[in-house]
A = this chain, B = another copy of it.
């Protein structure tokens, strides 16, 4: 592998991926909207860029084999705030990637693309979209975008529907936890599998109580090793009886299944197409 590009390199998950990715290719180009991501690893360079601006993304992807696309606003926000980084940003990665000959995008999708399904339904990767937030809607949009670029242009993508990558300090996380080691393993498999077409896989550790089913993504060979059950005794001791009428308790999306949609007093969004004349 000659060149990988990592977006969202300053983010929580992105920053964990920098080192292992730097070892998987001759060159790693990390990018983010932040000024700076600190000390670089061997083979790594950093370019500041706004995902919402095609002009800034396009040159970064030149010569890249794959893009590891983790850049986005990582919270529920009004639609117009997510539109740039989370929607247009995805378009820019795929379209600029295609124009630059990028072979594959590995994308940080999310359980929130299907967050309104019940936990007890043990959904597989083929569950229909049921976004719980505008944040989740952007994940749906990007998965469909990836599907189209594969069907129409044979550009591959793996969509990692991450459940939750934080610490295990509540009962939901006993099922949804994705450890950092397993995240790295997952990204590695998404990269090293020779052909992936358009694939979806849940990003979740080998938890006893995992509420989702990766069976249909087995060919990727993702075999997580960590298990949140080690935290069960402590967490459950601190957990009161569940409110079984609470969407945050019963649905895949957890708190996002309950939260209000990002709302704003927005009056107007205008698209400015500042195409440079040629």
Query: A229 contacts which of B153, B197, B221 (Cβ < 8 Å)?
Result: B221
Task: Decide if A80 touches B271 in the complex (CB within 8 Å).
Answer: yes
Distance of A194 Cα from B267 Cα, bound (Å): 32
Residue A83 CB within 8 A of the other chain: yes
When the two chains form the complex, which single residue of B95, B151, B195 contacts A79, counting CB atoms closer than 8 Å?
A: B95
Q: Are A261 and B148 in contact (CB under 8 A)?
A: yes
> Which residues in chain A, 113-166, are within 8 Å of chain B measured between CB atoms?
116, 118-120, 122, 126, 128-133, 136-137, 140-141, 144-145, 147-148, 151-154, 156
> Which chain B residue lies CB-closest to A265?
B275
Q: Are B103 and A266 in contact (CB under 8 A)?
A: no
Cα separation A122 to B196 with both chains bound (whole Å):
13
Q: Are A269 and B221 in contact (CB under 8 A)?
A: no
Query: For A276, what are the chain B residues with a Cβ–Cβ distance below 8 Å?
Result: 265, 267
CB <8 Å contact, B52 and A266:
no
Interface of chain A residues 187 through 212 with chain B (CB within 8 A): 192-197, 199, 207-211
Contact B261 A268 (CB under 8 A): no
A19 within 8 A of B: no
A264 proximal to B (CB < 8 A)? yes
User: Does the CB pair A275–B271 fall under 8 Å?
Assistant: no
Query: Given A130-B147, A267-B54, are A219 and B209 neighbors across the interface (CB < 8 Å)?
Result: yes
CB neighbours of A39 from chain B (8 A): none
The answer to whether B219 touches A175, judged by C-beta atoms less than 8 angstroms apart, is yes
Q: How far is the CB of A51 from chain B (nearest CB, A)?
A: 11
| A126-B128, A274-B270 as given contacts; A209 in contact with B220, CB under 8 Å | yes
Q: List 30 A-B contacts (CB under 8 A).
A: A52-B269, A52-B271, A53-B270, A54-B269, A79-B91, A79-B95, A83-B88, A84-B269, A87-B87, A116-B152, A129-B129, A130-B147, A130-B148, A131-B144, A131-B147, A132-B152, A141-B144, A152-B261, A153-B261, A171-B194, A192-B232, A194-B241, A195-B242, A213-B215, A221-B232, A266-B275, A267-B275, A268-B273, A268-B274, A270-B274
- 20 new A-B contacts, CB < 8 A, other than A122-B219, A213-B218, are A54-B268, A80-B271, A80-B273, A83-B88, A116-B151, A119-B219, A128-B128, A129-B144, A132-B151, A137-B141, A137-B145, A153-B261, A192-B236, A197-B244, A208-B222, A209-B218, A210-B218, A211-B218, A265-B276, A265-B278
